[in-house]
Amino acid sequence: MFYNLSINMLNFLNINKEWQKELEPYFSTKNWKDLNSFIRNEYLDNNKKIFPNKKDIFKAFELTPFSKVKVVILGQDPYHNDGQAEGLSFSVPNGLTLPPSLKNIYKEIESDLAVKKDFTDGNLKKWAEGGVFLLNSILTVVAHTPASHKDKGWEHFTDYVIKKISDDKDNVVFILWGNYAKSKKLLIDNKKHLILESVHPSPFSARNGFFGSKHFSKCNEYLKKHKKGIIKW
């Protein structure tokens, strides 16, 4: 079930009840109200196409309730080409050609866990439903214009989300790929969580430390050690 974040929110800015309770203090802040006003106007602008679809802005929150979060994989902003963004970091709808970074993620999973991945299916919904919070730092983007919603307020909100998870949960695995994601490390308490870091899985950097990082097996080893169910990567 979904509930409006506040009486000032447009209907599409919804979030599930569990996350609403956890983030309620933030929804009364000026930062949130300013962000809502900006995003509303962007989607109402007939001269712009905004990704993802309005109903998918909070897909990560929908599929991974706060109580179910075991792993956080942080992306930067949504894919900006048509039909790709679906509200989950790195994920694309089934049937689309895998973006290069996701293809490299699948390659590393195969190498690390000795499993076969379906390179025709880039939909990571099952990861999300299994406890992997696939969070982009910026949740919207103008079509074909990467980082177009940078510094509009999303980062302040998602920083709050990351710190909330760190403060209020125990033994979560935070997977930080690339310098942007690693810049969020200061929000995470490394005394009670596992932080896994490497270069980004992009073809431009994957061979400089992403391949061979074994983050997927390390993640599951940690979850098993702390008596949490492992992720079916």
Question: Which residues are identified as catalytic?
Answer: 77
Beta strand residue intervals within 76-208, DSSP E: 132-136, 141-142, 173-177, 194-198
Question: What CA–CA distance (Å, rounded) separates 231 from 127?
Answer: 7
Phi, psi for residue 67 in degrees, rounded to 5: -65, -20
Residue 121's alpha-carbon distances to 39, 86, 207, 219, in angstroms, are: 30, 14, 23, 22
Question: What CA–CA distance (Å, rounded) separates 56 from 70?
Answer: 21
Q: Is 126 in contact with 232 (CB distance < 8 Å)?
A: yes
| CA 65-30-166 angle, 5° bins | 35
CA dihedral 69, 59, 217, 210 (to 10 degrees): -130
Question: What CA–CA distance (Å, rounded) separates 85 from 163?
Answer: 25
